[in-house]
């Protein structure tokens, strides 16, 4: 997995950077209550102004980033919300929502804006929201496909001819544009020319230690979990990943708090399995973003379809907010379930890229640059260990994961260099020092 990370980062390095922005406009901030009283969709210029205004009003809580630009040079904005947004606290998990990947699925775009306002309006007032922001690094992307949204039409429940609006300006479906694990040419996929929106998200995903993610869509009402497809072409039925239990748990957590999802009958013509489905069992797709998150990073992502009608009249937005509010908030808190900790060497230095192995689950995650890890697990008994190149693997450690309302269990690891590794490392450093010293004397 680490080699894939390196390949991806190298190939993405020439692409647009993850850029931070300070606020440049003043006044006109519209709070959630105003949006509820006069619901509307935010087009690109309006959205941009709104996000800058919010970052100015809450400078300690909000940072605005540009992940890159679309085909038509529009920013893909990401709003970061955290207690001390200038610096992520050690051990604080990163969570993201990415909305409006399909430009004509517009409800998701506004739900992210409503959520942003709700979190900020209630910080310091509602203990639940305050605790969430104080202990989580939250990222909200209102629109991954700003060009597509501008090409869409309010009131259209289905995609326009030729999928105008759904796709980006180049006519590409962004949820079919990511490297696919089952592609025969998977080793060379990162070299393929991809859409600028896809490249921006790929770079952001692989360069940051995200733990949990929601990809917000429209056109049905269901929570869909990996895998998106299977290794067999034209296969039918479920395609389950090693963390199937975790993904089902996450999906049901979201669905159960949305009154329209568990019934599975809000969109009769597209009826899913009681509001939760395995994506491949629903319909298979190649190049999806949620599989990319799981296979190419530490992040567990689920796709949430929020409305039967893709771009309903703005008068319906408050109803969708009321249906999804508790699900959206609770899902963020799930980043704190399972096991977390730090991996260090015997000199108390963090080890980046150490693997966290759970016995019986064939999917490892890796530590951050600070040695941190977060391993999502459903309640149960587990045996876990850490391993890293050049170090002896730790012995298996038993851990009991309790109820989802409990904080993640903390399990730290100290790894020791393999026999002779430290001496070889010290000898190499000595030789490098001697060589440079002699070069200077000459």
Q: Which residues are catalytic?
A: 305
* C-alpha dihedral sign at 361, 363, 367, 368: negative
Q: What secondary structure letter does DSSP report for 262? A: T
Q: Which two tokens stand for residue 406?
A: 């409990």
DSSP 284-301: --SS-HHHHHHHHSS-EE
In the sheet that holds 75-81, the strands lie side by side as 19-21, 62-69, 75-81, 137-141, 94-99, 210-217, 300-307, 220-225, 276-278
CB neighbour list of residue 224: distance below 8 Å, 6 or more residues apart: 251, 272, 276, 277, 278, 279, 282, 290, 302, 303, 304, 305
Element (H, E) at 69: strand 62-69
Give CA separation, 342 vs 349, 354, 370, 388, 402, in Å: 10, 10, 8, 13, 20
Locate all alpha helices (DSSP H) within 193-243, ordered by sequence.
196-207
Residue closest to 371 by CA, chosen among 339, 397, 403, 349: 349
Q: What is the largest CA-CA distance in the chain?
A: 82
Are 308 and 295 in contact by the 8 Å Cβ rule? The answer is no
Tokens of residue 145, six digits: 């496909």
Listed in sequence order, the DSSP H helices in 38-164 are: 44-57, 107-122, 127-135, 146-150
Measured CA to CA, the distance from residue 139 to residue 137 in angstroms comes to 7
């Amino acid at each position: 997995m680490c080699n894939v990370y390196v390949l991806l980062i190298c190939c993405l390095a020439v692409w647009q950077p993850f850029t931070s922005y300070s606020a440049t406009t003043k006044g006109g901030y519209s709070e959630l209550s105003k949006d509820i009283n006069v619901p509307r969709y935010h087009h690109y210029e309006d959205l941009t102004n709104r996000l800058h205004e919010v970052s100015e009003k809450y400078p300690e809580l909000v940072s605005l980033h540009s992940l890159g630009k679309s085909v038509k040079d529009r920013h893909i904005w990401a709003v970061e919300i955290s207690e001390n947004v200038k610096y992520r606290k050690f051990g604080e998990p990163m969570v993201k929502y990415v909305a409006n990947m399909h430009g004509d699925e517009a409800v998701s775009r506004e739900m992210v804006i409503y959520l942003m306002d709700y979190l900020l309006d209630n910080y310091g007032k509602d203990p639940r929201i305050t605790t969430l922001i104080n202990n989580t690094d939250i990222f909200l992307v209102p629109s991954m496909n700003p060009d597509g949204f501008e090409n869409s039409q309010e009131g259209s429940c289905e995609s326009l001819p030729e999928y105008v609006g759904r796709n980006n300006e180049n006519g590409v479906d962004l949820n079919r544009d990511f490297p696919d694990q089952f592609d025969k040419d998977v080793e060379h996929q990162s070299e393929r020319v991809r859409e600028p929106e896809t490249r921006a998200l790929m770079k952001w995903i692989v360069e940051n230690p995200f733990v949990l993610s929601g990809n917000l869509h429209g056109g049905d009402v269901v929570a869909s979990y990996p895998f998106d497809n299977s290794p067999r072409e034209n296969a039918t039925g479920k395609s389950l990943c090693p963390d199937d239990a975790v993904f089902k748990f996450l999906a049901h957590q979201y669905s159960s708090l949305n009154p329209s999802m568990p019934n599975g009958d809000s969109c009769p013509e597209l009826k899913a399995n009681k509001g939760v489905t395995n994506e491949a069992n629903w319909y298979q797709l190649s190049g999806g973003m949620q599989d990319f998150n799981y296979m190419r990073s530490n992040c567990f992502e689920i796709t949430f379809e929020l409305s039967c009608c893709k771009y309903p009249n703005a008068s319906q937005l408050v109803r969708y907010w009321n249906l999804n509010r508790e699900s959206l908030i609770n899902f963020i808190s799930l980043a704190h379930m399972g096991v977390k900790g730090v991996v260090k060497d015997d000199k108390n230095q963090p080890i980046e890229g150490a693997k966290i192995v759970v016995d019986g689950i064939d999917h490892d995650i890796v530590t951050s640059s600070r040695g941190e890890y977060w391993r999502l697990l459903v309640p149960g008994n587990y045996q876990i260990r850490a391993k890293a190149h050049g170090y002896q693997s730790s012995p298996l450690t038993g851990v009991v994961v309790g109820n989802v309302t409990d904080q993640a269990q903390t399990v730290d690891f100290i790894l020791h260099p393999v026999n002779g590794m430290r001496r070889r490392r010290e000898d190499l450093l000595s030789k490098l020092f001697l060589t440079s010293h002699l070069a200077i004397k000459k």
